[in-house]
């Protein structure tokens, strides 16, 4: 009987030790082993390589302490590079499609579709942030990189990083802004950027700050973007 009791005591101790080791290893993996530079590099590579995604983006300014909203847009991109965006830009309702080399713009007054073949309107820098927000993440040489811990985000827990990139490979941003600060939420599950908050100073007026907030989701989802069919359309060409 004493042998049996000793045997089960040994099993209980071994089991408890195993559980503690497993918990300790998990803590090590999630907190001690995490290297901010490696996490940032992995998340940026995964995000920039995504074939398709959906997003919500808002852009606002503060001018001498006064806040102005520039845009609030929902968009999606498919694996072929086609776009669909809908929302508000500079106070005007906006909806547009880019299907291959054809642009479809909805007239906010008549609700008719303007069709522009042989054109890619979204190459214009004015629309770059709202149309291709992932391009804002083409950054390198981070300074002041900080790991701010974990928190609950869209779709689960996220790691939060804050940094100031020395290089921002985005023509739109570099034309209008400087002195960038990024706050990135990185999904713990798939190591993609689920939210990007970008703050910068206007080159035209250093008293003006520009804020971009983007929420990304449905990475690499099966997204099919088709030309609009509802309502009459007018066609223009070069």
Q: Are residues 161 and 141 in the same domain?
A: yes
Q: How far is CA 174 from CA 145, 166, 201, in A?
A: 21, 12, 11
Whether 122 and 189 share a structural domain? yes
What values do phi and psi take at 82, rounded to 5?
-80, 150
For the entire predicted model, the pTM comes to 0.80
Query: Are 19 and 52 in the same domain?
Result: no
Domain CATH number, residue 126: 2.50.20.20
Residue 205 in any domain: the answer is yes
DSSP track, 68-83: EEEEEEEEEE-TTS-E
What is the widest separation between alpha-carbon atoms in the chain?
A: 96
Number of domains in the chain: 2
Instruction: Report CA 40 to chain centroid distance, whole Å.
Output: 13
Residues 15 and 107 in one domain: no
* 202, 137: one domain: yes
Same domain, 13 and 42: no
Measure Cα distances from 160 to 64, 101, 189, 216 in Å. 29, 38, 14, 15
Is 86 within the bounds of a domain?
A: yes
What is the reported pLDDT for 17?
Answer: 52
Same-domain status, 27 and 145: no
Cα–Cα distance for residue pair 188/12, rounded to 1 Å: 33
Secondary structure in 3-state letters for 142-204: EEEEEEEEEEEECCEEEEEEEEEEEEECCHHHHHHEEEEEEEEEEECCCCCEEEEEEEEEECC
Whether residue 111 sits in one domain with residue 54: yes
In a domain, 189, yes or no: yes
Establish if 170 belongs to a structural domain.
yes
Instruction: Show pLDDT as tens, one digit a residue, over the chain (238 residues).
Output: 555 555 556 565 556 555 654 444 444 445 556 899 999 999 999 999 999 999 999 999 998 888 999 999 999 999 998 999 999 988 889 999 999 889 999 998 898 999 988 877 656 555 567 888 999 999 999 999 999 999 887 778 999 999 999 999 888 888 889 999 999 999 999 999 999 999 999 999 989 999 999 999 999 999 999 999 755 444 444 3
Q: Is residue 59 part of a domain?
A: yes
Full residue range of the structural domain in which residue 47 is found: 38-217
**Residue 229 pLDDT:** 77
Is 227 a member of any domain? no
User: In terms of domains, do 67 and 141 share one?
Assistant: yes
Same domain membership, residue 85 and residue 23: no
Contact assessment for residue 82 and residue 99, using Cβ atoms and an 8 Å cutoff: yes
Say yes or no: 181 and 67 in one domain: yes
**In-domain check, residue 6:** yes
Identify whether residues 59 and 130 lie together within a single domain: yes
User: Measured between alpha carbons, how far is 121 from 236 in angstroms, rounded to an integer?
Assistant: 13
Q: Is residue 225 part of a domain?
A: no
């Amino acid at each position: 009987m004493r042998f049996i009791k000793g045997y089960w005591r040994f099993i209980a101790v071994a089991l408890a030790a195993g559980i503690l080791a497993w918990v300790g290893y998990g803590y090590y993996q999630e907190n001690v082993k995490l290297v901010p530079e490696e996490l940032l590099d992995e998340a940026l590579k995964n995000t920039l390589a995504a074939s398709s995604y959906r997003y919500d983006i808002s852009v606002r300014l503060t001018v001498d302490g006064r806040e102005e909203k520039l845009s609030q847009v929902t968009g999606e991109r498919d694996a072929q590079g086609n776009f669909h965006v809908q929302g508000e830009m500079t106070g005007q309702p906006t909806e547009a499609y880019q299907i291959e080399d054809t642009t479809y713009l909805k007239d906010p007054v008549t609700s008719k579709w303007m069709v522009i073949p042989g054109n890619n309107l979204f190459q214009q820098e004015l629309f770059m942030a709202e149309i291709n927000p992932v391009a804002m993440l083409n950054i390198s040489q981070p300074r002041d990189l900080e790991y701010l811990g974990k928190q609950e985000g869209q779709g689960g827990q996220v790691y939060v990083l804050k940094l100031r990139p020395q290089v921002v490979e985005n023509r739109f941003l570099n034309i209008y802004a400087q002195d960038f600060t990024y706050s990135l939420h990185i999904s713990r599950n798939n190591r993609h950027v689920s939210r990007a908050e970008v703050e910068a100073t206007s080159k035209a007026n250093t008293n003006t700050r520009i804020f971009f907030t983007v929420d990304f989701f449905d990475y690499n989802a099966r997204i099919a973007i088709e030309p609009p069919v509802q309502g009459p359309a007018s066609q223009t060409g070069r």
